[in-house]
Structures are given as C-alpha cells and as structure tokens.
Amino acid sequence: MSKEAVKTVSKSASGSIGTAWRCPVCGSGQQEPLVEKLGYLYVLCTGCGVASLDPLPDEALLEGMYEDFLALECDGVKMSDHFSPEYKEAYFREKDLDFKDLSFTPPASVSMLDVGCADGIFLRYMDERHSVEGEGIDVSLTMVEAARKEGFNCSNSKLEELTGPYGLVTLWDTIEHLPDPKKSLREVNRLLAETGDLIIQTPCIGTVSDAWGAEWIQYQPPYHTFLFTEEGLVRLLEESGFSVSGLVRFGAGVTESGNSLKPVFDSVVKSAGIGDTIVVWAKKTAVIYP
C-alpha cells in the first residue's frame, strides 16, 4: 500500500464525517476520526470504544474480496507466504505462548469450531499439539478448498447456518474482517454450549496504534472493517453474553524484516500490557438468544 494514499486526520476534521454518522456497534453518534486511507476513514466511537470503516463495505463486497486471498500482497508480504513451513513453526510457537499466557488448556475431546479458518492452520495446530479434531468455516472458497485438500473438516457455511453446540469457538485474526461483529458474537453465543469457551485474537487500538498513526500496519481498508480498543472488545463480549477469563496484549507493530530492535519493543509493550494485538479468552455466561 503506498504511503501517499495515507494521511492522518486531524481532530479538527471531525466535522467532515457529517452529523449522520452512527456507530454500527452501539448506535452512538460520538466519534473521533482516526485515519483516512484508500478512500476510507477509520472512525472511533467514543461511546463504545470500537472503530469502524466509513463507509462500511457491504457483505457481498467483503465476501468477494477473499477469493484471491492467496494472491494478495500487503506491506510487501504475500498472503501465500503465510503458509510456508517457517510460518507454520512461528504460528505454532505463538499459539503455545497465547495458551500459556491465558492459562488456557483445551478441554479433552472438546468439539471446536474455528471461524475464519483459512487453510486450516489452527485446526492443524489443535490436532498436532492437543489431539483435538475441530471444524472450520471460512468465507473464501479457495481457502476452504486448500483446507479440505489437507484433510480438514472445513466449509463455506455461515455462522447462522450452523447448529452446534461447540465447547470451544475461536476467531484468530477474524473479527476485524467481519461485516457485523456484534451479530456474529451473538451467533457464537448461540452455538456455544453452556460455559463454553471463546478465544478471540485481533488488532488492538491504543498506545501503539496512536504512536504509529497512519503508518500502523493494522489500518488495512477495506479488509479490516472493525478495530477494537481493549475496553471496546471486553464491553462487546460482556454485552454478547460472555465473561472474560483471561486477556493478554503483545506486539509493538514492528515488522520482522525492518528492525533489529523488534524483540526489545515487543518485550517492553507486552510487560506494560499495551501491545497492539489482543487475545481474549471468555466463557459463555449468559444465553443471548432465546
């Protein structure tokens, strides 16, 4: 993505959104513009702490975007490189660390659904590391095909079409891509068994994103439709019938290739709890659907 297309929006520009703007999550009109990029504006709702794209791409556009997912390139990294053996090794290490940080151990023989499963890399992790055979769904037919070729139980189904119940639902780097995260979390609540577990990992707005401004790597319109502050995500989870059991934040927004100080930055932001990625473990504590 070219840097010329990026500019930070000054607070004085808030009037440019117009008075008709309403937060797609909570309906509040209180907003703060964050960044304008590629013809889209990220607007932070100061009512609920969730940022959304303005204009918000519709579901059909979002679904169509992921068919050529493997050919996409962002910040010089091809999406297809995400599935190299080196990536798999790093991915497994990161998931081991996430579970350790959250003090989360998957219940034995749990029925699991991975939402946004891509080529099934998390299903592979759960199978190889925890002997859990899960099920995955993804909007992209090409990714579902790749996962099925590897023998994983994946489909193009939507949350609304599933019946469950599952003991564990996971969304790794997925909720920020959804057209309506509030609706999706209600569906996840419906699909989970009583006291079932939910794990969500997503970019997190805060000190690090503020420091990077328009250069923050997670400002990726139109792919990243919603970006959450920690408070915003916790609040939405609580309103969707979940209670948070564990939470960790890590990452300083520094890419591997560009900076030898990455480990130092990462270590500092993680111990300060201000990382720009958040992983939350929550339990279903209330039934949202009748």
User: By the criterion CB under 5 A, which residues form the site for Zn ion?
Assistant: 23, 25-26, 28, 45, 47-48
Compare residues 47 and 165 and give the one whose CB is closer to Zn ion. 47
Closest separation between CB of residue 289 and Zn ion, Å? Answer: 22
Buried b (16+ CB within 10 A) or exposed e, 170-205: bbbbbbbbbbebbebbbbbbbbbeeebbbbbbbbbb
Instruction: State how far the Cα of 56 lies from the Cα of 41, in Å rounded to an integer.
Output: 9
How many CB atoms sit inside 10 A of residue 113's CB? 26
Closest separation between CB of residue 227 and Zn ion, Å? Answer: 12
Compare residues 54 and 94 and give the one whose CB is closer to Zn ion. 54
Compare residues 216 and 226 and give the one whose CB is closer to Zn ion. 226
Instruction: State how far the Cα of 124 lies from the Cα of 89, in Å rounded to an integer.
Output: 12
Compare residues 22 and 93 and give the one whose CB is closer to Zn ion. 22
Residue 174 — φ and ψ, nearest 5°? -125, -40
Closest separation between CB of residue 202 and Zn ion, Å? Answer: 16
Compare residues 122 and 228 and give the one whose CB is closer to Zn ion. 228
Distances, alpha carbon 238 to alpha carbons 185, 186, 244, 286, in Å? 10, 11, 8, 9
Residue 26 — φ and ψ, nearest 5°? -115, -10
Closest separation between CB of residue 154 and Zn ion, Å? Answer: 33
Strands 192-205 and 40-45: unpaired
Instruction: State how far the Cα of 173 lies from the Cα of 278, in Å rounded to an integer.
Output: 10
Compare residues 45 and 200 and give the one whose CB is closer to Zn ion. 45
Closest separation between CB of residue 262 and Zn ion, Å? Answer: 33
Closest separation between CB of residue 279 and Zn ion, Å? Answer: 22
